[in-house]
Amino acid sequence: MTMPGTARTIQLVARRELATRVRSKSFLISTVLIVVLIAVYVLLFSIMGRSSSVKVGLSGQSTGIATQLRTATSALGKQVETSSVGDQTEGEQQLLSGKLDVLVLGALDAPTVVVKSTMDPTVLAALNSLVRQQAIQGVLAQNGLKPTVLDAAENVSVRPKALQPEDPEQGQRTALAYIVGFVLFFSIQTFGVSVAQGVVEEKSSRVVEILLATIRPWQLLVGKVIGIGVAGLLQVVVIAVVGLGLARSSGALTLPDFAVGSIFSALGWYLLGFFLFATLLAAAGSLVSRQEELQSVITPVTLLPVLGFVIGLNLMVSEPNNVTSTVLSLIPLFTPTLMPGRIALGIAPTWQVVLGVLLMLAAIALFSWLGGRIYANAVLRTGARVRLRDALRCAEGR
């Protein structure tokens, strides 16, 4: 079946833009740089995680407290690796070489503890507790009492009742909200501005005049937005896949199923946000003929999302059910970066997500129509900057 002329034209423009962006050095360098930064971060996180454990060597009777020591320190939030050491001389050599952090030897109720310079306070507290237990059991045994007589007392503890129990996944949800929100915000802004830069470049070089001799302005605009949008989506997918793969394979971050779903659903929000901003930025770029003038016309378009993102995301993370962040997440200019974060935090009900999508689609339709007409009216006018009022007036007159 032959593709209709309009669809075929848009496809050709989109394919040209996609190929140009993907093959550009800036795209390749930025993608590789982000992937390398993610890999370095995960590597450093893994190394720091391993180096946070304390290596304890046990010799003689002290080897009997290996399991108890690991359990006690784990309860205090510290990981301990225990190993058996032949004698004190061997243990001290391992301390000096860095293979051990702590050497414990001698009797269980009064061990000798040797360190190279300083001792981790958590391990010291755990050892003191174990030594006291061993001493108490020794005294009980000397007086003919069984150690089990203290079991009931040892089991007595305070068990607080939480009115609002903490979500064990809250930390991961918060980190995910920050990461997803920032990546989407950065990508939408970056590739949206690329659309505006491309418009100005074609306008200043007069290439647009050649293109518009054979195709309509709105076809050129739609093809440009689709092509650059797919390039941006490709980069976001690469970042997401590499980030997830590295985080899960290294064990640096344990991501439950909801996290994977949140990240990949964010791709849809990227598309909605990009098409909204790209159309506005393309229309803004068509008002000027030089790259030096571009920043002045796109600043109003890019500034509001920046303020909404900074204010909304911080309010959302510090107080998830904040009314301000909830309202901002339903405003189309802020929805693509704030709503995915609320979804990651698990605080966005289904009706709000659906409403956000519908409002985004309505805003895209409105701004695409308005931006397309401004673009069509201003893109062929070179020289002085076209005033928005004039572009709107001419657009309304068409």
Instruction: For tokens 């050709």, name the residue.
Output: 12
At 27, list the tokens: 């795209």
Query: Which of the listed ranges 35-49, 69-83, 192-206, 304-318 does the model predict with the highest average pLDDT?
Result: 192-206
Cβ proximity of 328 and 300 under 8 Å: no
Whether 395 has a pLDDT exceeding 60, the answer reads no
- Alpha carbon distance 345, 171 (integer Å): 9
pLDDT tens for 74-110 read 766 677 778 888 888 887 888 888 788 888 887 766 7
Q: What is the DSSP string of 7-73?
A: HHHHHHHHHHHHHHHHHSHHHHHHHHHHHHHHHHHHHHHHHHHHHTSEEEEEEGGGGGGHHHHHHHH
Cβ proximity of 374 and 391 under 8 Å: yes
* Residue 298 pLDDT level (bands cut at 50, 70, 90): confident
pLDDT tens for 11-27 read 888 888 888 888 888 88
**Which range (106-115, 153-162, 251-260) has the least confidence?**
153-162
Query: Which of the listed ranges 39-43, 207-211, 346-350, 388-392 does the model predict with the highest average pLDDT?
Result: 346-350
CB atoms within 10 A of CB 197: 16
Please provide residue 80's backbone torsions phi and psi, each rounded to the nearest 5 degrees.
Answer: -125, 135
Q: Which of 308, 289, 305 is nearest to 297 (CA)?
A: 289
- Alpha carbon distance 327, 20 (integer Å): 38
pLDDT at site 1: 39
pLDDT at site 324: 83
Sequence letter at residue 162: A
pLDDT at site 3: 45
Sequence letter at residue 202: E
Strand pairing class (112-115; 102-105): antiparallel
* Residue 361 pLDDT level (bands cut at 50, 70, 90): very high
> Which residue did the predictor score with more confidence, 57 or 390?
57
Cβ proximity of 325 and 316 under 8 Å: yes
Mean pLDDT of the chain: 76
At 66, list the tokens: 């290996």
* Residue 362 pLDDT level (bands cut at 50, 70, 90): very high
Whether 151 has a pLDDT exceeding 60, the answer reads no
Buried b (16+ CB within 10 A) or exposed e, 97-122: eeebbbbbbeebbebebbeeeeebeb
**Angle between helices 170-204 and 257-285 in degrees, nearest 10:** 20
* Residue 156 pLDDT level (bands cut at 50, 70, 90): very low
As a whole-number percent, the residues of the chain with pLDDT over 90 amount to 3
pLDDT at site 150: 56
pLDDT at site 223: 85
* Residue 358 pLDDT level (bands cut at 50, 70, 90): very high
5, burial (CB in 10 Å: exposed 0-12, middle 13-18, buried 19+): exposed
Whether 165 has a pLDDT exceeding 80, the answer reads no
* Residue 139 pLDDT level (bands cut at 50, 70, 90): low
Whether 45 has a pLDDT exceeding 80, the answer reads no
At 180 the three-state DSSP class reads helix
* Residue 359 pLDDT level (bands cut at 50, 70, 90): very high
Starting at the edge strand that comes first in sequence, how are the strands of the sheet with 54-59 ordered?
Answer: 80-84, 54-59, 102-105, 112-115
Whether 244 has a pLDDT exceeding 80, the answer reads no
* Residue 327 pLDDT level (bands cut at 50, 70, 90): confident
- As a whole number, mean pLDDT of residues 253-279 equals 75
- Alpha carbon distance 186, 192 (integer Å): 10
Please, which residues have CB within 8 angstroms of residue 70's CB and are 6 or more apart in sequence? 80, 82
CA distances 35 to 30, 38, 240, 375, Å, are 9, 5, 10, 36
Write down all domains in the chain, each with its CATH number in brackets: 53-149 (3.40.190.10), 170-397 (no CATH)
pLDDT at site 175: 66
